[in-house]
Amino acid sequence: MASVLERAGFEHEEVADGEEALASVHAARPALVILDVSLPRISGYELCRELRDWYGEELPIIFVSGVRTASMDRVSGLLVGADDYLVKPFEPDELLARIRRLLRKNSAHNPPSGRPARTEALRAELTARELEVLELLAEGLTQDVIGRELVISPRTVGTHIQNLLGKLGVHSRAHAVAIAHREGLILSAEDSGRVGARS
């Protein structure tokens, strides 16, 4: 599949297992994801659900499988949240046709202008302190370090984090950070004026 994508002019990234895939999509939102159903460490089904939690319905996902090929397997993949399900072996042209169809469909429904209304609604719901905590979480700082940075107690930081999770409708800090990046709630270090390393 990698060689097919290269010949068709698509940039792509390959990962070895589900955990690497999560790290990759957390670092940068892909235009489309092709998932094998049988992945090491985290199954394709579980990974698909995680991607839907992070990116909603806007991220095209294609399942491929040479093992789970029955009609019931394909139905399960679609019910879990995939946009398409290909059974191996398949022709390269079929894969490319399905990729291009999903990318066109996604582009038509989600123009590059983004979703400023949703971003502004989220910003309005979060307090200034919660946005500060979210930005520091996105920088990878621990609760104790965030407390020192903002001159508040780690317990207060924990309260802000719990409030953030509730308002963003997620259950983990990683999901909160992913939504913050996706929705443009936080700025990069350069944009926010943060320079140099933290002590």
pLDDT digits (tens, 9 = 90+) for 133-163: 998 998 888 999 999 988 899 999 999 999 9
Q: Residue 110 is which amino acid?
A: N
Q: So what's the pLDDT on residue 116?
A: 54
Q: Which whole number is the average pLDDT over 183-190?
A: 60
Residue for token digits 């107690």? 153
Predicted confidence (pLDDT) at residue 60 exceeds the cutoff of 50: yes
Query: Considering only CA atoms, which of 63, 105, 110, 113 is closest in space to residue 88?
Result: 63
Task: Clarify whether residues 89 and 185 are in a common domain.
Answer: no
What percent of the chain stands above pLDDT 90?
A: 22
Domain assignment present for residue 197? The answer is no
Q: Which helix (H) or strand (E) holds 108?
A: helix 92-109
Task: Clarify whether residues 147 and 178 are in a common domain.
Answer: yes
* pLDDT band with cut points at 50, 70 and 90 for residue 85: very high
CA distance 132 to 145: 13
Hey, which of 27-31, 65-69, 85-89, 190-194 has the most confident mean pLDDT? 85-89
Q: Which helix (H) or strand (E) holds 36?
A: strand 33-36
Residue finishing a domain among 76, 92, 109: 109
Domain assignment present for residue 199? The answer is no
Query: Considering only CA atoms, which of 24, 94, 22 is closest in space to residue 11?
Result: 24
CB atoms within 10 A of CB 34: 20
Domain span including residue 25: 2-109
Q: What is the pTM of this model?
A: 0.55
pLDDT digits (tens, 9 = 90+) for 158-183: 999 999 998 888 888 888 888 887 77
